[in-house]
Amino acid sequence: MKQGNQRLRRVIQKLQVGSSSPKVTPTIPEDVEVDLEGVVSPEVLNQTPEEVMFLDLETTGLRASRSLAAMIGFLYRKGTILHLSQWYAGDAASERRQLKRLREKMAGFREIVTYNGDGFDLPFLCQRWKWHRLDSECPLISRDLLPLIRKKYRRTWPDCRLVTAEERLLGLPRCEADVPGSEAPLRFQDLREGAPFAVIEPIYLHNRRDLISLVGLRYRLQEEMLSS
């Protein structure tokens, strides 16, 4: 630069005055790290290998090119308990941190279980990794449960959403307080625009619920496969 950084600094101060009202980015809430006990039967737990990661993303939109992976939720077995991690990212910079951590975490697993992960979660992740200029190949073997469910129950069920699968295969109706996943983008938006953190608490619960169901569904599908 010809005139050094002093000039640049003043220029930027100027730019700031002209731009729209500044929005305060919320600080990242503490990431959720909990051990869950007794949420699945010992039988299911025993049949869940430790090298499997269950993953569900909550995003700020459907298009990876202009949305964030605002919450990365994943679950795995650690001995006799299930460990749940839910990492929140309110902006691109913190998303990078979480995505990078996720890649490091993934190194300890072999298989990734999702519901419609091949159609959404994994391409979304890869695109976000690429955008952040990180390594963008998914290192795990993907096991998407949605195609298996579809193949089997497409003709008999009204739809193959995760909620339906839970109800029909696991006999677990969702409680009233549960918000649909499609509401997540709006709630993340509210939070970024200054709403209290409580607006996304239902998303945490929803995500946790989805992940636990994945463990159950995987077990059921495996059982059915063996028995047939």
Contact residues for another protein (CB under 8 A)?
A: 1-3, 5-20, 22-25, 63-66, 91-94, 96-97, 100, 127, 130-133, 192
Tokens of 174: 């969702």
Smallest distance, another protein to C-beta of residue 83, A: 25
Smallest distance, another protein to C-beta of residue 129, A: 12
Compute φ and ψ for 21, nearest 5 degrees.
-55, 135
Q: Which is nearer to another protein, 63 or 154 (CB)?
A: 63
Smallest distance, another protein to C-beta of residue 14, A: 6
The residues pairing with 144 across neighbouring beta strands, listed in sequence order, are 114
Q: Which is nearer to another protein, 63 or 110 (CB)?
A: 63
Smallest distance, another protein to C-beta of residue 8, A: 4
Q: Which is nearer to another protein, 109 or 124 (CB)?
A: 124
Q: Which is nearer to another protein, 17 or 175 (CB)?
A: 17
